Amino acid sequence: MTASKPRIGIIGTGAIGGFYGLMLARAGYDVHFLLRSEYETVMQNGLQVNSAVHGSLHLDAVQAYRSAADMPKCDWLLLGAKSTSNPELAPLIAKAAGSDAKVVVLQNGLGIEEDLRRSLPDDVHLFGGLCFICAHRSALGVVENQALGGINIGYHSGPAAGMEQQQTLVEEGVAMFRAAGVDANAATNLAQARWQKLVWNMPYNGLSVLLNAGTAPMMANPDSRALIRSIMLEGQGAAAACGHPLPEALVDRMLMATDHMPNYLPSMYHDHANRRPMELDAIYAAPLAAAADAGFAMPKTEALYQALRFISDAANR
């Protein structure tokens, strides 16, 4: 396997894994997909991405597997599964990872890499992947990409000897995605990048569940818009308190960018609607705990988290 065309494994072929995996496969990369409930459908119909950015894309010959043990050893593994599945991921990674494997966590939230690192072999390189995409799965093997599609990659931990080698590996990953037509960039400070994404994710994910609404109606209503802004400002303040200050104009830029997005229902809305576990620990509990340790209060975010926890507990009774 050459460095220019590495073998790539997708663990978690939902909206995120399906989109990026299909893009990489169409660019000529050797991509292998781990599937569960979708296996039969994808083997029969292939993978479909309906993208407002790239058009209608189809991957017919999908290299799909029911078990990670059946996958060939991969140079790169992209983890598209939700963070609620993380306790199950380490054994799958161990089965599918080749020598000197690079594992990219394509998940939202805080503390994800730290938790996963404890279960991984020391010779695995672990990266964080920040996905900037409006996407959801509309049917088995079918992904709707309403807008965006970029990704930022940062090195977290592993056997790389020093910053220079870490950066070389990050650039290798960035180049791989760019060759597939994906807007990819290096995240120079992974922890800061995770906090920055949380500033958007904390208000919109949870409020979409509480208000049963997408981004457009939430932004059009003055009261919900003000609440979104206040939760964003809490996230920005918490990031600074934790040693990762964000640009002063970030909140206004995010609000403006959301105004120009199509009406979008975040992933937590779809998880709740389909009775799947919501990513409450990674998106709320972990940043709230980090902020509390730094002596920073997030009362509105805490209230949102408690309301979501009530909804989650009620759904599981």
Q: Which of 5, 82, 95, 197 is catalytic?
A: 197
Tokens 């079918």 map to which residue? 142
Could you confirm whether 197 is annotated as catalytic? yes
Q: Can you list the alpha helix ranges (DSSP code H) found in 59-162?
A: 86-96, 112-117
Interacting residues of 210 by C-beta distance below 8 A, sequence separation 6+: 304, 307, 308, 311
Nearest by Cα to 271 from 14, 10, 11, 19: 14
- C-alpha closest to that of 150 among 130, 135, 136: 130
Containing H/E element for 208?
A: helix 190-211
Rounded distance between C-alpha atoms, residue 149 and residue 10, angstroms: 17
Residue 128 makes CB contacts below 8 A (sequence gap 6+) with 104, 105, 112, 113, 153, 154, 156, 187, 190, 193, 194
Report the length, in residues, of the chain. Answer: 317
What is the Cα–Cα distance from 180 to 2, expressed in whole angstroms?
A: 17
Q: Which residues are catalytic?
A: 197
